[in-house]
Amino acid sequence: MQATRTSPHTESPVAPPPPLSLQTRMVLLSYFAYFFYYFTRKHLSVATGSLVNEGFSLETIGYVNSAYAVCYAIGQFLSGALGDRSGPRIALCAGMCLSGISTLAFGLFPFVAVLAIGFTANGLFQATGWPNTCKLITSWVSDARRGRVMGFWLSCYIIGSMAATAFSGYLLKEYGWKEIFLVNGVVVTVIGIIQGLFLINRPEDRGYTFETSVAAAETAAEKKHGFLVMLKNPSVLFLGLSYFGLKYTRYTLFAWLPFYLEKVVGLTKDAPAHVSNGFEAGGVLGLILGGYFADRFFPRNRCRLALLALVGMIVAVYIYRFASSGLDIAGNVAGLAAIGFFLYIADSIISGTAAQDLGGTGSTASACGIINGIGSLGQILAGIVPVKLSQWYGWNSVFISFIVFGVISCLAVFPVARRKRLIEA
**What is the per-residue pLDDT across 88-101, written as a single tens digit (0 to 9) for each?**
899 999 999 999 99
Task: Check pLDDT > 80 for residue 84.
Answer: no
The most confident of 71-80, 126-135, 308-317, 344-353, by mean pLDDT: 308-317
The pLDDT value recorded for residue 126 is 95
Sign of the CA dihedral running 413, 125, 91, 279: negative
Task: Check pLDDT > 50 for residue 216.
Answer: no
CB 369 within 8 A of CB 80: yes
Task: Check pLDDT > 90 for residue 358.
Answer: no
The pLDDT value recorded for residue 7 is 45
Q: Which residues contact 111 (CB under 8 A, 6 or more apart)?
A: none
The pLDDT value recorded for residue 146 is 66
Weakest mean pLDDT among 16-25, 210-219, 317-326, 375-384: 210-219
For residues 194 and 219, the model is more confident at 194
Q: What mean pLDDT do residues 334-352 have? A: 91
Weakest mean pLDDT among 136-150, 237-251, 272-286, 343-357: 136-150
The pLDDT value recorded for residue 194 is 96
> What number of other Cβ atoms are within 10 A of residue 394's Cβ?
11
pLDDT above 90 covers a percentage of the chain that reads: 43
The pLDDT value recorded for residue 188 is 97
Q: What mean pLDDT do residues 394-400 have? A: 89
Question: Quick one: fold of 20-417?
Answer: Growth Hormone; Chain: A; (1.20.1250)
Q: What mean pLDDT do residues 276-305 have? A: 84
Task: Check pLDDT > 90 for residue 26.
Answer: yes
Q: Band the pLDDT of 423: cuts 50, 70, 90.
A: low
For 383-395, how does the pLDDT look when each residue is reduced to its tens digit (9 = 90+)?
788 888 988 988 8
Q: Band the pLDDT of 271: cuts 50, 70, 90.
A: confident
How far is residue 341's CA from residue 344's CA, in Å, rounded to a whole number? Answer: 6
How far is residue 21's CA from residue 16's CA, in Å, rounded to a whole number? Answer: 14
For residues 271 and 283, the model is more confident at 283
Task: Check pLDDT > 60 for residue 206.
Answer: yes
How far is residue 86's CA from residue 244's CA, in Å, rounded to a whole number? Answer: 27
Q: Which residues contact 61 (CB under 8 A, 6 or more apart)?
A: 44, 48, 51, 52, 115
Task: Check pLDDT > 90 for residue 82.
Answer: no
The pLDDT value recorded for residue 42 is 87
For residues 314 and 381, the model is more confident at 314
Task: Check pLDDT > 50 for residue 2.
Answer: no
Task: Check pLDDT > 80 for residue 36.
Answer: yes
The pLDDT value recorded for residue 214 is 41
Q: What mean pLDDT do residues 133-139 have? A: 86
pLDDT above 70 covers a percentage of the chain that reads: 89
Q: Band the pLDDT of 376: cuts 50, 70, 90.
A: confident
The pLDDT value recorded for residue 143 is 65
For residues 361 and 102, the model is more confident at 102
> How much is the mean pLDDT over the chain?
85
Task: Check pLDDT > 90 for residue 312.
Answer: yes
> What number of other Cβ atoms are within 10 A of residue 299's Cβ?
11
